[in-house]
Protein backbone atom coordinates (compact mmCIF):
# COMPACT_ATOMS: atom_id res chain seq x y z
CA UNK A 1 0.00 0.00 0.00
CA UNK A 2 1.56 3.34 -1.01
CA UNK A 3 2.21 5.99 1.64
CA UNK A 4 0.57 9.41 1.57
CA UNK A 5 3.82 10.92 0.28
CA UNK A 6 3.94 8.39 -2.59
CA UNK A 7 0.31 9.06 -3.45
CA UNK A 8 1.01 12.80 -3.46
CA UNK A 9 4.11 12.48 -5.66
CA UNK A 10 2.36 10.15 -8.12
CA UNK A 11 -0.51 12.52 -8.88
CA UNK A 12 -0.58 13.44 -12.53
CA UNK A 13 -0.92 17.17 -12.70
CA UNK A 14 0.29 20.18 -10.77
CA UNK A 15 -3.32 21.30 -10.43
CA UNK A 16 -4.20 18.11 -8.54
CA UNK A 17 -1.14 18.54 -6.32
CA UNK A 18 -2.13 22.13 -5.54
CA UNK A 19 -5.69 21.06 -4.80
CA UNK A 20 -4.48 18.28 -2.49
CA UNK A 21 -2.09 20.68 -0.73
CA UNK A 22 -4.90 23.22 -0.25
CA UNK A 23 -7.13 20.51 1.22
CA UNK A 24 -4.38 19.49 3.65
CA UNK A 25 -3.79 23.11 4.68
CA UNK A 26 -7.54 23.65 5.15
CA UNK A 27 -7.73 20.56 7.37
CA UNK A 28 -4.71 21.75 9.35
CA UNK A 29 -6.23 25.24 9.79
CA UNK A 30 -9.50 23.68 10.93
CA UNK A 31 -7.61 21.50 13.41
CA UNK A 32 -5.81 24.56 14.80
CA UNK A 33 -9.14 26.37 15.16
CA UNK A 34 -10.59 23.42 17.09
CA UNK A 35 -7.56 23.37 19.41
CA UNK A 36 -7.85 27.12 19.97
CA UNK A 37 -11.56 26.82 20.81
CA UNK A 38 -10.85 23.89 23.13
CA UNK A 39 -8.19 25.92 24.94
CA UNK A 40 -10.64 28.81 25.33
CA UNK A 41 -13.27 26.47 26.80
CA UNK A 42 -10.72 24.98 29.19
CA UNK A 43 -9.75 28.47 30.33
CA UNK A 44 -13.42 29.39 30.90
CA UNK A 45 -13.99 26.20 32.89
CA UNK A 46 -10.89 26.89 34.99
CA UNK A 47 -12.19 30.39 35.76
CA UNK A 48 -15.61 28.99 36.77
CA UNK A 49 -13.90 26.37 38.94
CA UNK A 50 -11.78 29.03 40.65
CA UNK A 51 -14.87 31.15 41.33
CA UNK A 52 -16.66 28.16 42.88
CA UNK A 53 -13.66 27.35 45.06
CA UNK A 54 -13.55 30.97 46.25
CA UNK A 55 -17.27 30.90 47.07
CA UNK A 56 -16.90 27.63 48.99
CA UNK A 57 -13.95 29.06 50.94
CA UNK A 58 -15.98 32.16 51.84
CA UNK A 59 -18.93 30.02 53.00
CA UNK A 60 -16.61 27.85 55.08
CA UNK A 61 -14.98 30.91 56.65
CA UNK A 62 -18.38 32.38 57.52
CA UNK A 63 -19.63 29.04 58.85
CA UNK A 64 -16.60 28.76 61.14
CA UNK A 65 -17.95 31.74 63.09
CA UNK A 66 -20.96 29.64 64.14
CA UNK A 67 -19.02 26.61 65.33
CA UNK A 68 -18.87 26.08 69.10
CA UNK A 69 -15.66 27.12 70.79
CA UNK A 70 -15.30 23.75 72.52
CA UNK A 71 -15.75 20.66 70.43
CA UNK A 72 -15.89 17.22 72.03
CA UNK A 73 -13.30 15.00 70.41
CA UNK A 74 -13.29 11.28 70.92
CA UNK A 75 -12.14 10.44 74.43
CA UNK A 76 -12.23 14.07 75.64
CA UNK A 77 -14.86 15.84 77.75
CA UNK A 78 -16.94 18.50 76.00
CA UNK A 79 -15.83 21.19 78.44
CA UNK A 80 -12.44 21.35 80.09
CA UNK A 81 -12.41 20.64 83.82
CA UNK A 82 -11.70 23.66 86.01
61-82, pLDDT tens digit by residue? Answer: 777 676 666 656 666 665 555 4
Does 52 map to a domain? yes
Does 19 map to a domain? yes
Q: What kind and span of H or E run contains 4? A: helix 4-10
Does 13 map to a domain? yes
Q: Residue 22 belongs to what domain range?
A: 4-64
Does 15 map to a domain? yes
Does 79 map to a domain? no
Does 30 map to a domain? yes
> Per residue in 19-67, pLDDT tens?
888 888 889 888 888 888 888 888 989 999 999 998 888 887 777 676 6
pTM of the full structure: 0.44
What sign does the dihedral 43-47-53-56 (CA atoms) show? negative
Burial class (CB in 10 A: 0-12, 13-18, 19+), 20: middle
The number of distinct structural domains making up the chain is 1
Amino acid sequence: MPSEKEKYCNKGSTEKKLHTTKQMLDLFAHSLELHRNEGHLLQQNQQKYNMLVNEINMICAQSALYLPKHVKWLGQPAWPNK
